[in-house]
Amino acid sequence: MESTQPTATDRALVAAGQRLTVKVPGTSANLGPGYDSLGLALSIYDTLTVETLGTGELEFELSGEGADTLPRDASHLVVRAIDLALDRLGFQRSGLKITAVNVNPHGRGLGSSASAVVAAVTAANALVPEESRQDRDWILQLTSEIEGHPDNVAPAIFGGLALSWQDSEQYSSTRADVAPDVIPVVAVPDYELSTETARGLLPASVGHHAAAMNSGRAALLIHALTAQPEFLLPGTEDYLHQSYRAQAMRPSADLISALRSAGHAAVVSGAGPTVMVLANGEREAATVAEFIGAFTAANTPDVGWRVMTLAVDVQGARVEVHRR
């Protein structure tokens, strides 16, 4: 049977004269034992404004994180993701003006690349005619393909706590509401760690005992996050990945160890090196921020740390249409 998919030469151009902005939360994946399956949306936002022009030119304005190093041409991840999404939808772009304002630190484990692809695919989907648009599950599938896994893109799309899984080439996710007392506190160091480097430190397999221990903690963590935050400390105990990655982020690993010894639910955010504490209430969040400041000043004076008390984002990616 012949394919009915449009070829590159007969794809419709996206209509000119459109302008929209996509706001996407940062994310923290894994959360300790939820390796490649759990992710949390955080109240730190990148914004992407896309305007369709009548010419074939690409204009790219970029400010904030990555402004000194990232490209401003068709090789940028945002442009590549927009082009791929439009292609899947049966369209192609003509002239395009992109304005990116990046707040999410890059290479720190807060889902910056996931935010970029979610913003791009969401924008592309909003630019095509309404009858051609797809739902958020379609956005999840495509962005997971681009990223290679759904743990960061899912909370960026849906908000809240995302529980994600994969069957063959199909990615799925469901959303859970986080208890209002849970307050994420992040400590972002001034050094980077690539996801590829962090993944390269993991063993090819783990023992049955470690896997069983980890599955129990992951189940407990979901209950702690959604219903009983007093179980956050035992619920964030990990047996699969954090200890293997410690050598690549020793200042972060030492901070996590100190925080957990003091009774706080500290984890590596994503692949690191950001440290995240899931605090139970405002009082603990304030105590954690003070603890981090004192510990890092005394023990890691050569590392700069940015400490932020955030909230759990409950909306996920959202689009504001300015002109059609």
At 254 the pLDDT is 96
Q: Does the pTM of the predicted model rise above 0.85?
A: yes
Sign of the CA dihedral running 291, 297, 301, 305: positive
Mean pLDDT of 277-300: 98
Q: What is the pLDDT of residue 324?
A: 56
**What residue has token string 């050598």?**
247
Cis status of the peptide bond prior to 203, with omega within 30 of 0: no
pLDDT band at 169, cuts 50/70/90? confident
What percent of the chain clears pLDDT 70, i.e. is strictly above it? 97
pLDDT at 1: 38
Per cent of the chain over pLDDT 90 is 79
Please tell me the predicted confidence (pLDDT) of residue 7: 53
Q: Per-residue pLDDT for 5 more than 60?
A: no
Tokens at residue 15, please?
């209509």
- 3 pLDDT exceeds 50? no
- Average pLDDT, integer, range 147-175: 96
**Per-residue buried b or exposed e for 193-202, using 16+ beta carbons within 10 Å of the residue's own CB:** bebeebeebe
- CA-based Rg of the chain, rounded to a whole angstrom? 20
- List of domains in the chain: 12-174+313-323 (3.30.230.10), 182-309 (3.30.70.890)
pLDDT at 183 over 70: yes
Nearest to 25 by CA among 140, 127, 94, 112: 112
Overall average pLDDT of the 206-216 stretch: 90
Give the residue ranges of DSSP H helices in the chain: 77-89, 112-127, 136-147, 153-158, 195-200, 208-226, 232-235, 242-245, 250-261, 282-299
pLDDT exceeds 80 at position 201: no
In tens, the pLDDT along 41-68 reads 999 999 999 999 988 789 999 999 888 8
pLDDT of 136 strictly over 80: yes
Residue 139 pLDDT greater than 90, yes or no: yes
Q: Is the pLDDT of residue 242 over 50?
A: yes
